[in-house]
Amino acid sequence: MILSAQVLPSRVVKAVVYDQPRSFTVTEVPDPHPGPGQVRLRVVLAGVCGTDAHLHDGQFDPVYPLTPGHEIVGEVDEVGEGVTQLRVGQRVVLDNMQSCGVCSSCRRARPAFCSELVAQGVNAPGGFAQYIVTPAGKCHPADDLEPEVAVLTEPTACVLHGLDVLGLQPGSDVLVFGAGPTGLLLAQLLRHSGAHRVTVAAPTAAKLELAARHGADETVQLDRADPGAGAARLRKLAPEGFDVVVDATGAVGVLEQCLPLTRDGGTVFVYGMTDESDQLTVSPYEVFRRELVIKGSFSQAYSFDRALQALRTGRVATEGIVTHTFALDDYAGALAALQDRTCVKAVVRP
């Protein structure tokens, strides 16, 4: 599957462009125009997430030249031939993934593993740009949501897909490691999915306070220099272990704590994105003897509509999550914010 746009003689516009890992410029690119069935969006906001940091390092199968940015709120700027469901000036959120619909993975309702997958912001032009062209059918109207709320649609969709994979049993006692954007979204939606208690553990007090305001039942502050102390506090909360332990950090050191904190017959849920080269040592005997389940979740699938409903109804509270906003020319600053403990969620406003 190839995502292409017409490029007509016109103005030039700005975009972040990588030519290789760790090498990008904010530069002028041709102004794209939509072909049949496509629309051009003026990017209003684009969220920055850990995936963008991995792409910066050349991980996650980027295709160069690459314009990243996959959490996109845009305003329809131009419509291509045959597009009738969207109008110029309409605000939308973009489902950045396009699958072929006919390969073996698609036929098994696994579109994220499509053999011809197009993921805008990964292997096709993404949202860290002034304009982006995309199929009209992948745009979801969001005029009723403020951009700072709508920009959380894609990460919320990923969480909802994760909950589909997890299959949480009602009444479960759940521990979430991490109080970044995904940890905060997970904690809220786990509560609405039937968990009787959700505990959030993280090292930053301000983020834990935000988790508590958004409904976490318990919070535990971790000390990176003394991980044993945090583990002891968590064991005190759940002496027999938690039914589900979620890693939303992507840190192997945190993942190593998950199995010991999981009760017999429980589930370890690998949600955070680690480096491709990371390795986790797991005792197969322990998994066998304790009947542990290890699950993972990748991207989103069939969940954008539900994500928008969760945001519209307030099931997902967003206040305080977007904390830093950067201009396109300061994309380097937006990347750096991912390592700033005062930053919960950074966005780029082209």
Mean pLDDT of 71-79: 98
Give the pLDDT confidence of 298-314 residue by residue, as tens digits. Answer: 999 999 999 999 999 99
Give tens-digit pLDDT for 104-144: 999 999 999 999 999 999 999 999 999 999 999 999 999 99
Q: Which residues pair with 242 in a beta bridge?
A: 262
pTM: 0.95
pLDDT of residue 119: 97
pLDDT at position 2: 46
User: Which of the 8 DSSP states describes residue 330?
Assistant: G
* Rounded mean pLDDT, 199-222: 97
pLDDT at 254: 95
Q: Percentage of the chain with pLDDT > 70?
A: 97
pLDDT band for position 227 (cuts 50, 70, 90) = confident
Q: What is the largest CA-CA distance in the chain?
A: 67
Q: How confident is the model at residue 224 (pLDDT cuts 50, 70, 90)?
A: confident
Query: What pLDDT, on a 0 to 100 scale, did the predictor assign at position 1?
Result: 47
Give the type of residue at 99: S
Distance, CA of 39 to chain centre: 24
* pLDDT one-digit tens code per residue, 158-183: 999 999 999 999 999 999 999 999 99
Examine the pLDDT at 270 and tell me if it is beyond 50.
yes
**Is the pLDDT score of 215 beyond 50?**
yes
Q: Is the pLDDT of residue 205 over 70?
A: yes
Return the minimum-mean-pLDDT range out of 19-28, 75-84, 220-229: 220-229
- What integer is the mean pLDDT of 185-206? 97
Q: What is the pLDDT of residues 47-62, one digit of tens each?
A: 999 999 999 999 999 9
Question: Band of the pLDDT at 6, cuts 50, 70, 90?
Answer: low
* β-strands 131-135, 38-48 pairing: antiparallel
CA angle 273, 239, 175 (to 5 degrees): 25
- The first and second tokens of residue 136, run together, are 């009209």
pLDDT-based confidence at residue 5 (cuts at 50, 70, 90) = low
Backbone angles phi, psi at 144, to 5 degrees: -85, -5
| Paired sense of beta strands 91-94 and 71-79, if any | antiparallel
Q: Which whole number is the average pLDDT over 333-348? A: 97
Residue 192 has pLDDT above 50, yes or no: yes
**Picking from 17-31, 158-172, 223-237, which range would have the lowest pLDDT averaged per residue?**
223-237
Give 215: exposed, middle or buried? Use CB within 10 Å, 0-12, 13-18, 19+. Answer: middle
